[in-house]
């Protein structure tokens, strides 16, 4: 009688088949820490993802002007001066991964093709969820030392809090040498806007946010449709309590969407840009962010860059080693980092460091 069970080639086919049913959601998952994932749902949208090759992430920049414009007169003599304007920011690659595994004998114990698919789907779902949770945590952290080669460059690397209002957000503590390898002592314009507030009121926070919006060139979009709101590159990200307080302010307004805070489709907006509740910011104990942070981000200029062909790359099932001939592993790996190409388009407010 022929042997029964599932061999490696059969299992590889089942993994491929399970990818389709995985997308359809064949089981219920209630294991996630957060109801929503800021990092995944905004910064890691397919349209936001950019790819590069090379040993590091590179973006050309211009920080200064040539200052050659002048007034002249009839028959005035002219001299041409060419200034070197080219500069750049660079960012090292960071590598993030997760994996899952199963034993062929374990799979064989499941009776029926659909049960095998369910087992694989659940473990694949856990693999992705674990990666998403790690990214949600990493996006608000910075390297812990000059020798830290593991931690990605989170938002606090690029958007730095300073207690003094204005374009005062300078260099992060780490990485050393400034965000993107450019120190603000060398390039004065390489700073984000920062402000300090005390309470979520018209005379305090609202006034500070108005100043910040003007400084970083925020204007209301011409349309207010929900789909446009969801895709707006300019959004406010803050804590649950701040979001609730802003919603309270908005509910006290009239229906004129021209006001600073307003309610649209049961969500608070700031100048018609969405206010996003980021649950990860509710506990900043182990994060590199100030107290009660309010991020005003333009995600056209702050986004993840992936190494070409290495963004959310899922491997084919592989055998672990000779000593475990029946164990198969699936790897999920990405080579990436976060980059900001215009710090002057970003703002942060907080009640303190």
What is the distance between the alpha carbons of residues 51 and 263, in angstroms, rounded to a whole number? Answer: 37
Q: pTM (2 decimals)?
A: 0.85
Which of 22-36, 110-124, 322-336 is predicted least confidently?
A: 22-36
Q: What is the pLDDT of residue 267?
A: 73
Q: Are 285 and 297 in contact (CB under 8 A)?
A: no
pLDDT recorded at residue 25? 43
Least confident of 122-126, 190-194, 254-258, 271-275: 254-258
Confidence (pLDDT) at 107: 74
Q: Per mean pLDDT, which range of 80-84, 179-183, 259-263, 318-322 is the poorest?
A: 259-263
The predicted-structure confidence for 300-341, as pLDDT tens digits, reads as follows 999 999 999 888 888 888 887 777 888 889 999 999 999 999
Q: What does the pLDDT read at residue 304?
A: 93
Residue 198, pLDDT score: 97
pLDDT at residue 14, as a whole number: 66
What gap in Å lies between CA 339 and CA 177, rounded to an integer?
15
The larger pLDDT score, comparing residue 326 to residue 42, is at: 326
Residue 274 has pLDDT above 80, yes or no: yes
For 276, 325, 349, the CA distances from 154, given in Å and listed in that order, are 18, 40, 17
* Helix (H/G/I), strand (E/B), else coil: 294: strand
Residue with more model confidence, 84 or 189: 189
Structural tokens at position 242: 């701040």
Mean pLDDT of 176-200: 96
**Range ranked top by mean pLDDT from 106-110, 205-209, 286-290:** 205-209
Nearest-5° angle of CA 332, CA 333, CA 337?
Answer: 145
Q: Is the dihedral of CA 244, 249, 254, 255 positive or negative?
A: negative
Task: Return the pLDDT at 23.
Answer: 56
Strand ordering across the sheet containing 294-298: 166-169, 192-196, 347-350, 294-298, 234-238, 273-277, 267-270, 261-264
Confidence of residue 116 (pLDDT cuts 50, 70, 90): low
Q: What is the mean pLDDT of residues 290-303?
A: 94
Average pLDDT, the chain: 84
Residue 24, token pair as written in the block: 């359809």
Mean pLDDT (whole number) for 157-172 = 97
pLDDT of residue 228: 45
pLDDT greater at residue 38 or residue 145: 145
Which residues fall within 8 angstroms of residue 225, CB to CB, at 6 or more apart?
A: none
Residue 72 in this model has a pLDDT that exceeds 80: yes
Q: Tens of pLDDT along 144-160?
A: 999 999 999 999 999 99
- 157 or 117, higher pLDDT: 157
Query: What's the residue count for the chain?
Result: 353
Supply the pLDDT for residue 191: 97
- Mean pLDDT of the region 289-297: 94
Is the pLDDT assigned to residue 258 strictly greater than 50?
Answer: no
The pLDDT, as a whole number, for residue 226 is 45
Q: Is 262 helix (H, G, I), strand (E, B) or coil?
A: strand
- Digit-coded pLDDT (tens) for 228-243: 444 678 999 999 999 9
């Amino acid at each position: 009688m022929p042997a029964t069970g599932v061999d490696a080639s059969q299992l590889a086919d089942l993994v491929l088949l399970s990818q389709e049913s995985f997308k359809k959601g064949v089981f219920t998952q209630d294991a996630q820490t957060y109801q929503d994932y800021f990092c995944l749902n905004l910064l890691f949208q397919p349209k936001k993802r950019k790819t590069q090759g090379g040993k590091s992430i590179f973006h050309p920049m211009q920080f200064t002007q040539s200052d050659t414009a002048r007034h002249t007169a009839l028959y005035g003599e002219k001299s041409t001066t060419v200034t070197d304007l080219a500069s750049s920011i660079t960012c090292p690659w960071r590598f993030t991964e997760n994996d899952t595994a199963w034993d062929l004998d374990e799979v064989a114990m499941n009776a029926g093709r659909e049960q095998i698919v369910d087992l694989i789907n659940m473990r694949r779902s856990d693999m992705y969820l674990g990666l998403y949770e790690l990214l949600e945590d990493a996006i608000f952290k910075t390297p812990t030392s000059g020798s830290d080669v593991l931690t990605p460059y989170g938002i606090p690397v690029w958007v730095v809090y300073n207690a003094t209002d204005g374009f005062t957000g300078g260099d992060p503590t780490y990485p050393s040498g400034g965000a993107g390898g450019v120190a603000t002592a060398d390039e004065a314009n390489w700073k984000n806007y920062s402000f300090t507030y005390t309470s979520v009121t018209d005379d305090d926070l609202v006034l500070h946010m108005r100043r910040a919006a003007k400084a970083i060139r925020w204007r209301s979009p011409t349309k207010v449709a929900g789909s446009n709101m969801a895709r707006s590159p300019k959004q406010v990200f803050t804590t649950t309590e701040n979001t609730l307080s802003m919603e309270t302010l908005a509910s006290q307004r009239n229906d004129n969407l021209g006001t600073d805070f307003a309610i649209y489709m049961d969500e608070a907006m700031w100048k018609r840009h969405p206010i996003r509740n980021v649950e990860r910011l509710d506990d900043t104990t182990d994060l590199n962010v100030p107290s009660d942070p309010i991020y005003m981000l333009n995600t056209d200029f702050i986004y993840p860059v992936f190494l070409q062909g290495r963004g959310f790359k899922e491997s084919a099932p592989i055998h672990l080693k000779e000593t475990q001939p029946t164990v198969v592993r699936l790897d999920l790996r990405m080579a990436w980092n976060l980059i900001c190409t215009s710090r002057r388009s970003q703002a942060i407010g907080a009640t303190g460091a």
